[in-house]
Amino acid sequence: MTSKGIEFYSAVHGPAAAGDPIKVRLFVDGGEGKEFLEGVQPYGHGHVEVERGGLFFTESSREVHLTVHCGTEVFRVTQLIDTQWPKLPDGPLADTFKTPTRFVDTPRGKLAVSYGFGDTSGQHASDLLYVTVTPVYSDWMGELVGAHPGLRDRAFSTFSLPGAHDAGMYGPGESIHTTIDALMGGAIAPAMLIPLGPVGAAIAALLAMGSALDLLPTAVVNSAFVQKDDVKTLLDLGIRYFDFRPGVPLGEDALAHIHSVVPGCELAVFLSQTLRWLEAHPTEIAVIRFSDDGIYHRLLPNAAKVEDVVRESFDTSTIRRGGIGDLTRTVSDLLAGNTRLLMVRKDNYHGSWTSAYETDDVNVIKDKLATMKVQATGADQIALELQSSGTKDGLVLGAKNRAYGQLIKTKPVFRDTLYPWVRENAPKKFAQGLLVLMDDFADGSLTRLAIDLTTSRLGHQVTGRDSTP
């Protein structure tokens, strides 16, 4: 009898409202299952084995169900798993970028359910499925100030902010086809892509293998797109810091987020959606950081053109533009002046990322965080990168199908190791400066971590303890 394993990861953070506990469950039709309850442990991990359905060829597949309960069932997704053949059947989990966060109503209020699936068909390894259930954190900053009134008169950098790494790289749009056609047509020599990190190196490797060109579109999407939700959803999940890398896509005119050479969301769209959302949420403040990290040099934009897009976006909004100098202004001042979208760059920026992040070993990342040395003040940005950059070989392998990406598979493994470490160590180690928690496939569990760190750091700042090297 053949079978297929699934490593099941959960993160459940319930709302304050009393009621039935939240339960997440993964189970097989007529077979075993695994469930995790709110309040027992924040991060759960278990294994579910999908046994072959019967003796005949047609019975090698079984339905697997992921459900969320809060009194009654409030969420369900069902995927067919083939236990015999090295393929993932079509279904709701077969494309990473068609698994957006869903918001569900429950007796305890609205919940956010974020989930993802990593296929390993043909690798003789278990698949991976994760689910995160949290409250909707659309107004968490205002609620935190309400619970801790002293925050109003503290510098904005007292906050720890949940951040979306490569925030504009969600949902491949039409411009991706122009880029793929240009790459296949030789617009950029493979040797020029290799220095651009694992994404560029993976694309170069596939371009160099003429027989593998049919894999290029999937490889480009799986390696370069590292968010599953658009900016409005990310804001509803509580994300408040956005890493955006503007550039000019191959064969296009409109500025967009560029990851290596791959285009994502247009800058004007990203800004307008962010500003409209902030207008509807008057207690919230967000930050967008522009950088050119990892962008192919021919795609770098004219600075004046970027500024024109930013200025035009703010001209049509009631939100006032802020900058790096506003990190030390009090929260009450920023709110009173409606200065609620800060546009920053590399000024006073201290990030944990190094080339060592090109790994699938979470302990390498944890060591980098543990040895990071920053003498920070309230005017500094400290960014803790909590995700891998992937490896060239892993990203190439991820070209098999749209659920095969390397980064979706490392997401819950890294979270379950790094988030507890950050919760335990960051308040003292990084007591001063705007503390940014950056992750791929950002969701509500990152926001919950930032809320906990903000209250912890507030205590450390009150007692006068500084960042420790």
Does residue 468 sit within a domain? no
- Same domain, residue pair 116 and 172: no
Instruction: Supply the pLDDT for residue 215.
Output: 84
Sign of the torsion angle spanned by Cα atoms 451, 453, 456, 462 = negative
- Same domain, residue pair 95 and 180: no
Determine the straight-line distance between the first and last CA of the chain, rounded to whole angstroms: 55
Task: List Cα–Cα distances, 175 to 190, 220, 263, 308, in angstroms.
Answer: 20, 13, 7, 22
pLDDT of residue 5 exceeding 50, the answer is: yes
- Same domain, residue pair 177 and 90: no
User: CA-to-CA distance for 292 and 299, rounded, in angstroms?
Assistant: 10
User: CA-to-CA distance for 407 and 412, rounded, in angstroms?
Assistant: 10
- Same domain, residue pair 303 and 185: yes
Q: Which of 111, 135, 159 represents a domain boundary (last residue)?
A: 135
- Same domain, residue pair 104 and 170: no
419-445 pLDDT, tens digit each: 999 999 999 999 999 999 999 999 999
Domains held by the chain: number: 2
Does residue 469 sit within a domain? no
111-137 pLDDT, tens digit each: 999 999 999 876 778 999 999 999 999
User: CA-to-CA distance for 358 and 246, rounded, in angstroms?
Assistant: 23
- Same domain, residue pair 130 and 146: no
Cα-to-chain-centroid distance, residue 302: 28
- Same domain, residue pair 255 and 363: yes
Sign of the torsion angle spanned by Cα atoms 333, 339, 341, 342 = negative
Q: Please give the structure tokens belonging to residue 289.
A: 């950081």
Domain at 122, CATH number: 2.60.270
- Same domain, residue pair 151 and 115: no
Kindly tell me the burial class for residue 20, based on how many C-beta atoms sit within 10 Å of its own C-beta (0-12, 13-18, 19 or more).
middle
- Same domain, residue pair 153 and 62: no
Q: Please give the structure tokens belonging to residue 347.
A: 């000024």
Q: Which of 2-6, 141-145, 307-311 has the lowest mean pLDDT?
A: 2-6
248-262 pLDDT, tens digit each: 999 999 999 999 999
Does residue 467 sit within a domain? no
Q: Which of 135, 166, 200 represents a domain boundary (last residue)?
A: 135
Residues ≥6 apart with Cβ < 8 Å to 13: 38, 42, 133, 134, 135, 444, 445, 448
Does residue 159 sit within a domain? yes
- Same domain, residue pair 116 and 199: no
- Print the domain residue range for 69: 3-135
Q: Which of 135, 162, 193 represents a domain boundary (last residue)?
A: 135
Q: How many CB atoms lie within 10 A of CB 105?
A: 10
347-379 pLDDT, tens digit each: 899 999 999 999 999 999 999 999 999 989 999
- Same domain, residue pair 210 and 67: no
**DSSP structural state of residue 466:** P
Instruction: Supply the pLDDT for residue 128.
Output: 95
Domain at 294, CATH number: 3.20.20.190
Is the pTM for the entire model greater than 0.85?
Answer: yes
- In the chain, % of residues over pLDDT 70: 95
Is 158 in contact with 136 (CB distance < 8 Å)? no
Per-residue pLDDT band at 1 (split at 50, 70, 90): very low
User: In which element (H, E) is residue 321 found?
Assistant: strand 320-322
Q: Which of 7-21, 50-64, 326-340 has the lowest mean pLDDT?
A: 50-64
- Same domain, residue pair 203 and 344: yes
